[in-house]
Amino acid sequence: DVCGNVELTPMAIAAGRRLADRLFSANTDHAYAKVSYDNVPTVVFSHPPIGTIGLTENEAIEKYGEESVKVYTSKFSNLFYGPFQIDPSEKPKTCMKLVCAGQSEQVVGLHVIGMAADELLQGFGVAMKMGATKADFDSCIAIHPTAAEEFVTLFPWGLSSQETGAKVSPLNGNEAPSPDL
């Protein structure tokens, strides 16, 4: 599982499944099944965990140009630590970054360090594979109290171009949609 573009066990499993579909499936839809190596969620199971998917801010600027990239950030103490009788400055922080590109502000990078980063990344990975925009994130109703709600309420909220990114299927190795520059 370390011989490809993304050196992760789940990536190797997905590639093997698509290969088996292509070679052995009687379903003609599987004849060209391929795995996509774009926007693969990755987590470092540290304390706190770190999660990342897509481009970094610098990679997005290099790819799309500084004028086409908008970045949203947040730093907060997870509500889990609310009842702890310690000074707020000593409570562990969660940091989040949403990297958007193009006029539609398509989400091209999502990064988080803090409690539950590993769990919340999976759902946002699906959204990014589908080409989600900042407006898509803003339109999602937050689940309170969770750390993930911060990604769907990042300031400024609701001011992005009201365009959805759900236009391209991420199935069969299709490339992730690109922002409209």
Contact assessment for residue 123 and residue 148, using Cβ atoms and an 8 Å cutoff: yes
pLDDT at position 3 is: 60
In this predicted model, what pLDDT tens digit does every residue of 119-168 receive, in sequence order?
999 889 989 988 899 999 998 888 988 888 999 989 887 778 777 776 65
Contact assessment for residue 120 and residue 94, using Cβ atoms and an 8 Å cutoff: no
In this predicted model, what pLDDT tens digit does every residue of 64-114 receive, in sequence order?
999 999 999 999 998 888 889 999 899 999 999 999 999 999 999 999 999
d(CA 10, CA 6): 9
List all residues 6 or more positions away from 108 whose beta carbon is below 8 Å from its beta carbon: 54, 55, 60, 64, 99, 100, 101, 128, 179
Tell me the catalytic residues. Answer: 144
